[in-house]
Structure 1
Amino acid sequence: MGLEFNPMGGGEERWCVVTGGRGFAARHLVVMLIKYDMFSVRIADLGPTIKLDSDEESGVLGEALKSGRAVYVSADLRDKSQVLKACQGSEVVFHMAAPDSSINNHKLHHSVNVQGTNNIIDACIELKVKRLVYTSSPSVVFDGVNGIINGNESIPYPAKHNDSYSSTKAEGEALVIKSNGSNGLLTCCIRPSSIFGPGDKLLVPSLVDAARAGKSKFIIGDGNNMYDFTYVENVAHAHICAERALASEQPVSGKAAGQAYFITNMEPIKFWEFMSLLLEGLGYERPKIKIPAAVMMPIANLVELIYKLLAPYGMKVPQLTPSRIRLLSRSRTFDCSMANDRIGYTPIVTLQSNILRTYLHFDLLDAVIYLRADAQTIRIGPSKAELLLGCGKVADVLLWRNRKETFTVLLILAAFDFNFVASGYTAITAVSKLLLAASVFLFIHSKLPKKILVYEIEKIPDSKFHVSAAASRQMSLSVASKWNSAMSDLKSLCKGNDSILFFKVVLSLLLVSMVGAFSLHNIFVIGLPIIFIAFVVYEKKEEEIDNFVVKALSFGCKFKPDLTRKVSNSEKQQ
């Protein structure tokens, strides 16, 4: 099970592991560890092999892989045997692996952030690893309702988090802190705030997508919410500071261990000012039109509901979600005094050193043609309509990318309407007829030979009809989590102290009642043609439609200042 290690400099080799080692911040930590000649580095990630970018091949990482000072290990943290293999013989583990935070999938986040972290801890204890540094998040103390100004480590975990990523990160962090001292293992957690810098494939690209879709003109909230951003080199530096503090002699390591630390650039800035600097650097206009978060939340809830329904059919995560609206409109600044005192962290790169200009003009040179505003005249990549639909199967069907496929879907939907909706059956009769049709189809399909003439008949594997114990347990946990969340909202509504929640409930029920006024058959007859035509029209007339929407919203905001002020004041009181 063990890996073969090459001696380093003829002396005793010292290995460290970086989980999620091909992630954004992890890549910078790997390079920094190699440059400092602290350890031989084992890069653990999901991919079967490591694929280097062109600059990496000729850089520090490429040389280290060739010389054996760095090795790559394919490992899924959810598989304990793979975790044991990845951690064997290491002195330190930097646990940085985590799913994409924008995907609000509780099952996925729990399996990696909680179960995977538990596997890491067990492996460290079993293999007598000396130190474990866990990459957490400031979101573990953020409830999505109350802003945080100069928050320190005394802030407790909230009763309800902003999303599944935050709640499962908090669970993983708690496990790491609790494991401190187990079989000599020293642990601590790093909470870097809003990471940015070279290699970022999330912040700037998503900002540019929003700009091209005409959404970057808007400020969610009053635009005065303060934020702490952290340059990625400072994040890597903080991890090394933490590891060195844990490795030092007592009492320093004892003081550093068993704690979580906020890490920032120590330079709070208005969130929307930071976004404006990035947009201006790429040639886009600064956002100017302010929209109260309370106005956007019902829309975001509707978008999230649509995503949950269409995600199994290829729809990608939308940018407009309730958790993201809360992140964009609340203040989040943090105090790094404890990190400075206990692990000796201070930023090594500052915002004042023209880091924004460096970030925009040097890191994005290869992609500048795709990102700059003056490149919009040539469509590169997916259209706005395609982005709205998630760039998957749903987009292909509704945008008529494959006419045969689109007509097939239309025929299936029309057949469903004719047989189960327009016929006027009751719900029970419709369901029973649908199950009867499915049973007949499955029976006939099972009797067909594997090949008819030149056509192969793909058989449905038995695994499709089986739900494992682990999967059923996860389904139960997911149902319980959603039930508890609904009950929590109901309690808040009963107390009468959450006007935003009341507004969302009323608006949702009004929407349901409006939809309920139409028969299901009418929804099919009217809705289907509109859906299959509207997105095609939007794709062809994107600019005209976007400009019209912007002007309409601008007109509405100009002549409804009293409503905006009242909603904003209501938000602040919450």
Structure 2
Amino acid sequence: MAGSAEEAPAAASPVASPRDGVTEETASPAARSRGFWLLGEDKSVHKALGGGKTADVLLWKDTKTSAAVVGGATILWLLFEVVEYHLLTLASHVMIATLTILFLWSNATVFIKKSPPDVPEVQISEELAVNIALALRADINKALVLLRELALGHDLMKFLGVIVALWIVSEIGELCDLLRLMYIVVLILHTVPILYHKYQDQVDDFAAKAHAELCKQYKVLDAKVLSKIPRAPPKDKKEN
């Protein structure tokens, strides 16, 4: 009786899930097979966004910076869309005001006997320029490789996905201009990640059902239509 009483709490202890940081070896099969996760079993929203300062801003962990970004974007949108201010005019007026204030301040220090404003010397280092160029080069090369594979007819799913994405972009372009689209993107980036982080389980459950339904519909489409379309034979990649 004593032994069974001691074993009862251990049997009733909750099973930790991989989402709480438990590794695959320590988690039970029931926990590992919880369901469909958009970001994977071992990836949080913060980690998916890079895990750095940008992730903190998008998830509103740095409230002041997040509010400043959204507020600044809102002010710019109001200036350009509502007041119909022009970008070149705004940039010129800001530069005029800034240079005038600094010029008058620097000259006034001679009379009031105070130190002039400390204007830092800003330069783009060669290392930073090279890193930016390398990052852009890698992304551009990936895009070119993808476009070449689609042009050769190697991946029908990717082809359909790119066509749908481009069609959606074209429809969005018909509805709003670039500035409004950028403002909408800023708002989405500062609302969707935090909402997904808050309701991650519910969204994953819905995504699992949607994913299963899409896979079923694709199998039907592939059996009736896609499998009958002639495709170019895949070419072996040549080793360098």
**2:204 alignment partner, one of 546, 549, 554:** 546
Aligned amino acid, residue 282 of structure 1:
A
Question: Do the aligned partners of 1:557 and 1:564 also contact (CA within 8 Å) in 2?
Answer: no
Q: What does 1:552-571 align with in structure 2 at a 5 Å threshold?
A: 552-563=210-221
1:534 corresponds to which of 192, 197, 207:
192
Q: Residues 388 and 433 from structure 1, CA distance in 2 versus in 1: closer, same or farther, beyond 3 angstroms? A: farther
What's the RMSD between the two structures over aligned residues? Answer: 4.8
1:517 to 159, 170, 174: 174
Q: Given the alignment of the two structures, is residue 282 of structure 1 paired with residue 89 of structure 2, yes or no?
A: no
The alpha carbon displacement at 1:416 in A equals: 0.9
Structure 1 residue 420, shift from structure 2 partner: 2.6
Displacement after TM superposition at 1:501 (Å): 5.6
2:76 corresponding residue in structure 1: 416
For residues 560 and 500 of structure 1, do their structure 2 counterparts lie closer, same or farther at Cα, with a shift above 3 Å needed? closer
Shift of 1:528: 5.3
Q: Could you tell me how far apart the structure 1 residues matched to 2:201 and 2:62 are?
A: 24
Please give the residue correspondences for 1:286-305 in structure 2 after superposition, counting only pairs within 5 Å: 286=33
Identity, in percent, stands at 21
Tell me the CA shift for residue 419 of structure 1.
1.8
- 1:538-558 deviation per Cα after TM superposition (whole angstroms, max 9, x unaligned): 333222222222233233334
- 1:485–1:532 CA distance, 2 compared to 1 (3 A): closer
The equivalent position to 2:60 in structure 1, one of 400, 406, 409, is 400
CA-CA distance at 1:506 after TM superposition: 1.7
1:396 Cα shift? 2.8
TM-score, normalised to structure 2, is 0.55
Aligned residue number for residue 120 of structure 2: 461
Cα contact 2:35–2:208 (8 A) shared by 1:
no
> Partners of 2:135 and 2:189 in 1: how far apart?
31
Q: Which protein has the bigger helix share?
A: 2
Selected match of 1:212 from 5, 15, 19:
19
Higher fraction of strand? 1
Cα distance 1:503–1:394, how it changes in 2: closer, same or farther (>3 A)? Answer: same
Does 2:109 correspond to 1:435? Answer: no
Q: How many residues align?
A: 199
- The whole-number CA distance in structure 2 between the counterparts of 1:544 and 1:478 is 35
Cross-structure match for 2:7:
none
Distance 1:406 1:475, change over 3 A: closer
Distance 1:522 1:386 in 2: 27
Compared CA separation, residues 557 and 493, structure 1 to 2 (3 A): closer
Contact 2:154 2:232 in 1 (8 A): no
Q: 1:269-318 CA distances to partner (integer Å, 9 max, x unpaired)?
A: xxxxxxxxx836532334987xxxxxx9xxxxxxxxxxxxxxxxxxxxxx
Code of the residue aligned with 1:534 in structure 2: it is V
Q: How has the CA–CA distance of structure 1 residues 414 and 502 changed in structure 2, closer, same or farther, with 3 Å as cutoff?
A: same
- TM-score under structure 1 normalisation? 0.27
Paired residue secondary structure (1:390): coil
Whichever residue aligns with residue 194 of structure 2, its letter is V
What secondary structure sits across from 2:51 in the alignment?
coil
Amino acid of the residue matched to residue 557 of structure 1? C
Aligned equivalents of 1:444, 1:433: Cα separation in 2:
16
- The one-letter amino acid paired with 2:201 is E
Tell me if the contact between 2:153 and 2:231 (Cα under 8 Å) persists in the aligned partners: no
Contact 1:500 1:571 in 2 (8 A): no
Matched with 2:113 is none
Structure-1 separation of matches of 2:136 and 2:182: 30
Deviation by residue 1:151-183 (Cα, 9 ceiling, x = unmatched): xxxxxxxxxxxxxxxxxxxxxxxxxxxxxxxxx
* Offset at residue 561 of structure 1 (A): 2.6
Looking at structure 2, the residues matched to 409 and 543 of structure 1 have their Cα atoms a distance apart, in angstroms, of 28
1:500-521 Cα shifts (integer Å, max 9, x gaps): 5643542332132132123246
Which string of whole-angstrom CA distances, capped at 9 and with x for unpartnered residues, describes residues 361-390 of structure 1? Answer: xxxxxxxxxx9x9xxxxxxxxx94433433
Letter in 2 for 1:285: R
Secondary structure in 1 matching 2:175: coil
What letter is aligned with 1:436?
S
User: How much does 1:441 deviate?
Assistant: 6.0
- Counterpart of 1:353? none
Conserved in 1, the CA contact under 8 Å of 2:70 and 2:187?
no
The offset of 1:392, in angstroms, is 3.0
Q: In the alignment, what sits opposite 1:3?
A: none
Amino acid at match of 1:550: A
Q: Which fold has the larger relative contact order, with Cα–Cα distance below 8 Å and residues 6 or more apart in sequence?
A: 2
Provide the secondary structure at the position in 2 that maps to 1:465. Answer: coil
Q: Is contact 1:398–1:535 with CA below 8 Å preserved after alignment?
A: yes
Distance 1:480 1:545 in 2: 35
Structure-2 separation of matches of 1:436 and 1:407: 26
Q: Secondary structure at the match of 2:32?
A: coil
